[in-house]
Amino acid sequence: MVSPMTASFPATAAARTLSGQILAIPMTVAIFSGAIALFANSFWLSAATSAIALSLSVAGLAILYGQLGLVSLCQFALVGVGGWVTLRVGHAFHPPFEVSLLAGGIVAAVVGLAFGLPALRLRGLYLALVTLMLAGAFQIIISAWGFPDGGSGFLGRADGAGRAMLSRPSIAGEAIPYFLYVNVFAALGLMIAQWHKLARPGRAWALIRKGETVAISAGVPVLVYKAWAFALSGFLAGIAGALLAGNVGQLDGRAFTSFESLNLFALAVVGGVYNWYGALIAGLLLRAIPALLTDLGIDGYVTIGIFGLALFQALATAPSGVAGQISGLLNRLRAHLGKSGAE
Amino acid sequence: MIAIENLIVQFGGVRPIDCLTAQLSAPVSGLIGPNGAGKTTLLNVLSGFVRPIEGKVAVKGQALLDLSPLQRVRAGLRRSFQTEQVVEDLTVVGNLKAIADHVLPNNERAESVSAALDFVRLRAVAATMGSSLNLFQRRLVELGKCVVGTPKLILLDEPAAGLSNEESGVLRELILRIPGEYGAQVLVIDHDVDLIRAMCTETLVLDYGRMLALGPTDEVLASPDVRRAYLGEF
Ligand SMILES: Nc1ncnc2c1ncn2[C@@H]1O[C@H](COP(=O)(O)OP(=O)(O)OP(=O)(O)O)[C@@H](O)[C@H]1O
Ligand SMILES: [Mg+2]
């Protein structure tokens, strides 16, 4: 397996300013979401909504793997945690949607940190195994508990009659407004992740990647910055779960298998963990391919094979993923334009 | 002033440092010895990554071994590594900021980074990614990182390895300016005896973890013991 330490990093982008690099995110998301909102039918709109929401959780994985080389295989479980808390808080207290969403994000951050704690001193295969087992544990718990659907008690299960849906935010009740609403949060989440990469935490992570001794020699409190990466990654996964819960108004416990966490990681690598738009690409692949297959009447399980092949292709030929290839193309284009402009 | 007393480091059955007692007080001191003599291990003890089983170390009167590696950095200890450790996907400024982030309050970082950048003469490549730098520039970045903040003791592990004579000459001039401009004491490991001679007024020679000689560099280099340990090397 190609380690992220040896992968080729995009070598330019030096001269562009921090705010410029961050502002590219809302601009891209706005153009993209506008196009989809204009042209997609309701089936594709719903798929795009969950794709965008999921890309946030991929952004979290990209921090762990792209910034620190840590393989976490329980990210979809954290999406589930965020979704569970959002539904639980929403049904119990009926606060504005944003409050439930934030609660989902924060609890998932805490759980992500707790999942990460035993892992702070692990890496490579051992970390992957531990997190995969945690994802398996979550799968067992959530298939027993199910997601809250307006019932009473801690688990909030209504069982059969009286099942309630979580209502969407009041400003985004319909499909298209909710899709745009999700895009706003996705842009915010991606900007937070990108700021982290470009500012002080990103520099500390870069040093840790170089070696813990090197990082400590530069004054970096290594455990704090690793823990922060786990918490941030969990937070983004939790927000993704909250936005998914808001999309349909409920979640299905059977959809949160440990296998989904594996898929998420594979697609994160395929999309590219070194560029922010890798997460968007991964989210789209994750939802668009199954939707496309359903559209064509092909069994959804074929996606597993397709994702496997895509992962193999990425690891073998493009360790920085689709996004890395796009970035390389853009850089060449920019260099070319710069040259002809100077003449 | 570094005072080392009765220092013993043990890895399993080997003692890379064995009962070392030495005091280094020159502004720039040299540390030489054959391969495997324990030079890097001594630096690791000073920076806190290797725990000795016995002995004491004091820097400017302060007991060093009680401090964690991070506390030592915050107290002004800086070091470079035998193989340079510039981060490829950070710019030169990013590499300097990465240490300023943790050793200075927010409002003093930019100024210190800027000063370090000028000190090592890398302003022209300030925005260049580490991956595009040549070895000399990387070694300069490493030196620049050492003068960010308020360095008190700078440990350099073969800072000129792989450089041309001309390049190591530039590096030497910079290192010699550090005690005057930053008030820090410098300890340099190098295999290039001419470089050590030109830079260090005082030199410690290690051999098999023991002190072979310590004193004014010229005298130390002329001593028969040292010449024997180095036979074939100069
Ligand atoms: N972590 C370790 N575990 C076991 N032995 C070690 C360790 N680090 C160093 N040694 C051994 O300690 C001895 C001294 O090593 P050290 O790296 O200090 O030598 P050095 O003087 O820096 O040599 P060089 O000039 O080659 O850099 C060597 O025999 C080495 O193999
Ligand atoms: Mg050495």
Q: State pLDDT tens for residues B39-90.
A: 999 999 999 999 999 999 999 999 999 999 999 999 999 999 999 999 999 9
Q: Please tell me the distance in Å from B214's CA to the nearest CA on chain A.
A: 28
Whether the CB-CB separation of B119 and B174 falls below 8 Å is answered with yes
d(CA A152, CA A71): 38
Kindly report the average pLDDT of chain A as a whole number.
87
- pLDDT over 50 at A1, yes or no: no
Beta carbons of B70 and A218 less than 8 Å apart: no
Residues of chain B with a CB closer than 8 angstroms to some CB in chain A: 47, 49, 69-70, 73-74, 78-79, 81, 85, 87-91, 94, 97-99, 101-103, 127-129, 131-132, 145
End-to-end CA distance of chain A: 44
Say if A333 falls within a structural domain.
no
Interface test with B, best of A203, A212, A275 (most B CBs within 10 A): A203
Say if B129 falls within a structural domain.
no
Mean pLDDT value of segment B207-224: 93
Considering only CB atoms, which chain A residues are within 8 Å of B138? none
d(CA A173, CA A167): 8
Q: Is B95 in the pocket of ligand 1 (CB under 6 A)?
A: no
**pLDDT, greater one: A167 or B28:** B28
> Binning pLDDT at 50, 70 and 90, where does residue A4 land?
very low
d(CA B205, CA B213): 5
Confidence (pLDDT) at A295: 79
Say if A252 falls within a structural domain.
yes
Say if B220 falls within a structural domain.
yes
Query: What is the CATH classification number for the domain harbouring B44?
Result: 3.40.50.300
Mean pLDDT value of segment B189-207: 94
Say if B195 falls within a structural domain.
yes
Confidence (pLDDT) at A42: 86
Mean pLDDT value of segment A155-160: 79
Say if A91 falls within a structural domain.
yes
d(CA A145, CA A138): 10
Distances (CA, A) of A35 to A29, A32, A286: 10, 5, 19
As for the ipTM of the complex, it is 0.94
Beta carbons of B78 and A217 less than 8 Å apart: yes
Block residue for tokens 């409050």: A99
Say if B230 falls within a structural domain.
yes
Rounded distance from Cα A308 to ligand 1 centre (Å): 44
Residue B61 is part of which domain span? 1-71+187-234
**pLDDT, greater one: B77 or A175:** B77
* CA-proximal residue: ligand 1, atom 29 (nearest): B36
Q: How many domains does chain A have?
A: 1
* CA-proximal residue: ligand 1, atom 19 (nearest): B36
Mean pLDDT value of segment A10-30: 72
Confidence (pLDDT) at A14: 42
- pLDDT over 70 at B196, yes or no: yes
Please name the residues in contact with A38: beta carbons below 8 A apart, sequence gap of 6 or more: none
Question: Which pLDDT tens digit goes with each residue over B103-161?
Answer: 999 999 999 999 999 999 999 999 999 999 999 999 999 999 999 999 999 999 999 99
Structure tokens at A329: 């193309």
d(CA B211, CA A187): 61
Which range, of A222-226, B14-18, B30-34, B229-233, averages the lowest pLDDT? B229-233
Say if B179 falls within a structural domain.
no
Which range, of A70-84, B61-75, B216-230, averages the lowest pLDDT? B216-230
Interface test with A, best of B67, B72, B88, B108 (most A CBs within 10 A): B88
Rounded distance from Cα B143 to ligand 2 centre (Å): 17
Beta carbons of B94 and A220 less than 8 Å apart: no
Question: Which pLDDT tens digit goes with each residue over A24-51?
Answer: 899 999 999 999 888 888 888 999 999 9
Which residues are registered as beta bridge partners of A52? none
Confidence (pLDDT) at A16: 58
Considering only CB atoms, which chain A residues are within 8 Å of B74? 219
Confidence (pLDDT) at B86: 97
Which residues are registered as beta bridge partners of B14? B11
Mean pLDDT value of segment A242-247: 95
Which range, of A86-90, A130-134, A158-162, A283-287, averages the lowest pLDDT? A158-162
Which range, of A53-57, A68-72, A336-340, B23-27, averages the lowest pLDDT? A336-340
Say if A223 falls within a structural domain.
yes
Ligand (nearest to CA of B49): 1
Confidence (pLDDT) at A13: 43
The torsion angles phi and psi of B6, rounded to 5 degrees, stand at 55, 40
Confidence (pLDDT) at B232: 52
Q: Is B11 in the pocket of ligand 1 (CB under 6 A)?
A: yes
- pLDDT over 70 at A253, yes or no: yes
- pLDDT over 50 at A8, yes or no: no
**pLDDT, greater one: A204 or A41:** A204
* CA-proximal residue: ligand 1, atom 3 (nearest): B11
- pLDDT over 70 at B199, yes or no: yes
Structure tokens at A284: 């789209």
Q: Which residue of B has its CA nearest to A222?
A: B70
Beta carbons of A9 and B89 less than 8 Å apart: yes
Q: How many domains does chain B have?
A: 1
Residue A241 is part of which domain span? 21-257
Which range, of A122-131, A195-204, B86-95, B102-111, averages the lowest pLDDT? A122-131
Q: What is the DSSP letter of B12?
A: T
Question: Which pLDDT tens digit goes with each residue over A301-329?
Answer: 787 788 888 888 888 888 888 998 898 89
- pLDDT over 90 at B187, yes or no: yes
Confidence (pLDDT) at A3: 42
Say if A311 falls within a structural domain.
no
Greatest CA span in chain A, whole angstroms?
Answer: 74
Rounded distance from Cα B190 to ligand 2 centre (Å): 9
**pLDDT, greater one: A215 or A290:** A215
pTM of the model: 0.91
DSSP helix, strand, coil percent of chain A (3-state; round to 5):
75, 0, 25
Confidence (pLDDT) at B147: 97
Which range, of A70-84, A160-174, A212-226, averages the lowest pLDDT? A160-174
- pLDDT over 60 at A17, yes or no: yes
d(CA B74, CA B67): 10
The torsion angles phi and psi of A140, rounded to 5 degrees, stand at -65, -45
Say if B60 falls within a structural domain.
yes
Say if B22 falls within a structural domain.
yes
Q: Which of B7, B9, B11 is the pocket-test mutation for ligand 1 (most atoms within 8 Å of CB)?
A: B11
Confidence (pLDDT) at A205: 97
Say if B67 falls within a structural domain.
yes
Q: Please tell me the distance in Å from A116's CA to the nearest CA on chain B.
A: 22
193-212 of A, contacting B, C-beta below 8 A: 200, 203-204, 206-207, 209-211
Say if A229 falls within a structural domain.
yes
Rounded distance from Cα A4 to ligand 2 centre (Å): 27
Structure tokens at B15: 């003692």
Confidence (pLDDT) at A10: 41
Say if A9 falls within a structural domain.
no
